[in-house]
A and B are shown apart, each in its own frame.
Chain A
């Protein structure tokens, strides 16, 4: 069974600080997705990582993928209050890709709170 584990699950940061959220997964996959969810809202796609060594950046967020270590990281630089949200990573069912499946397995999410 594919497992996706995020840590930490809760993160309280001060504005201006840097931090990293980790996403480990238990099976071979080279497709990793990061989503953001504001309280009571939908999930917004942030990054799609499609190969080993992939790095993507948008504003203060940078995501990377190491398929050999089965690890993705979401790095937050100089946090601001607007980044407060829950961040999810999700893994594609690679071995079923191109076949009948394409569903994503999500981690439990990291609830980020940025305080002044």
Chain B
């Protein structure tokens, strides 16, 4: 158990809908990262937040957005869902790269999203 929690574990929805995925980082971690894992694209970095502020963006679609709240939990919002958005979405957390000198990330159990 990494200490990172994600809800829900599974989500089944229809095309065009909007969903929200939630992540709570490990106690003491300030950085939260979102990744998408699919068979064809592999593990893709989406977005990073550090202490409430967006710090880096990866291959995140405009239909997707995220935020990190004052209590450091984060939410990933996916809208106008398409079949191709079906994937495993992971949240990871770390203390923050500048604090330790490296950036070991700890992953949550993931949310499996199925878009029908």
Given the known inter-chain contacts A42-B90, A108-B42, please indicate yes or no for A103 contacting B56, CB distance below 8 A: yes
Q: Once bound together, how far apart are the Cα atoms of A62 and B25, in whole Å?
A: 29
Q: Once bound together, how far apart are the Cα atoms of A98 and B106, in whole Å?
A: 19
Minimum Cβ distance to chain B for residue A70 (Å) = 17
Q: How many Cβ-Cβ contacts under 8 Å join chain A to chain B?
A: 71
Q: Which residues of A contact B50 (CB under 8 A)?
A: 102
How big is the A interface, by class? Answer: 20 to 34
Given the known inter-chain contacts A102-B48, A109-B43, please indicate yes or no for A42 contacting B109, CB distance below 8 A: yes
Q: Once bound together, how far apart are the Cα atoms of A42 and B92, in whole Å?
A: 10
Minimum Cβ distance to chain B for residue A102 (Å) = 3
Q: Which residues of A contact B64 (CB under 8 A)?
A: none
Judged by a CB distance under 8 angstroms, whether A48 is at the interface is yes
Q: Once bound together, how far apart are the Cα atoms of A102 and B101, in whole Å?
A: 10
Minimum Cβ distance to chain A for residue B55 (Å) = 5
Using a CB-CB cutoff of 8 Å, which residues 60-116 of chain A contact chain B? 88, 92, 96-98, 100-109
Q: Which residues of B contact A103 (CB under 8 A)?
A: 33, 45, 48, 56, 58, 103
Give me the interface of B with A, judged by CB distance under 8 Å.
2, 31, 33, 42-43, 45, 48, 50, 55-56, 58, 90, 92, 94, 96-98, 101-110
Give me the interface of A with B, judged by CB distance under 8 Å.
31, 33, 35, 41-45, 48, 50, 88, 92, 96-98, 100-109
